[in-house]
């Protein structure tokens, strides 16, 4: 069973970089329209487990549906490597696109399907 580890991550061009402590035993593949189109695999961490190292001014934000998740895209390469929002329990969280973490073999992860399309 995986345990929380610290990973580096970021966008394709490198203008956005962060460190995140996450347990990759809880990775989801959501079928909502935005997740399907961008092909993300997601894990969620408390805001305190995420540290943006560079790129705060290099992202643009996209809000849709209920406007509760702030999807952040690199202005240069267009990659969404993380998003910020509020969890159902009211706590601040960060959604991490696991495909944007350094040296993570996604084929070795257990992925849980999430039906976001029906929500």
DSSP the chain: ----EEEEEE-SSSSSEEEEEE-TTSEEEE-SHHHHHHT--EEEEEGGGEEEEE-GGGEEEE--TTS-EEEEEETTT--EEEEEEE-TTS-EEEEEEGGGBTT--GGGS-EEEE--TT-
* pLDDT digits (tens), the chain, 119 positions: 468 999 999 999 999 999 999 999 989 999 988 889 989 999 999 999 999 999 999 999 998 877 778 999 999 999 999 999 998 899 999 999 999 999 999 999 999 999 888 87
| pTM of the predicted protein model | 0.91
Residue 10: the pLDDT is 98
The pLDDT score that the predictor gives to residue 84 is 95
- The domains located in the chain, with CATH, are 5-114 (2.170.150.70)
């Amino acid at each position: 069973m995986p345990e929380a580890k610290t990973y580096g991550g970021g966008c394709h061009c490198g203008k956005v970089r962060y460190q995140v402590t996450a347990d990759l035993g809880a990775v989801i593949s959501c079928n909502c329209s935005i997740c399907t189109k961008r092909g993300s695999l997601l894990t969620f961490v408390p805001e305190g487990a995420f540290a943006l190292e560079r790129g705060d001014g290099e992202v643009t934000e996209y809000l849709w549906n209920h406007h509760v998740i702030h999807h952040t895209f690199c202005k240069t390469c267009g990659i969404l490597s993380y998003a910020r929002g509020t969890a159902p329990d009211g706590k601040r969280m960060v959604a991490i696109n696991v495909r944007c973490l350094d040296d993570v073999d996604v084929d070795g992860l257990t992925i849980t399907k999430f039906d976001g399309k029906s929500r």
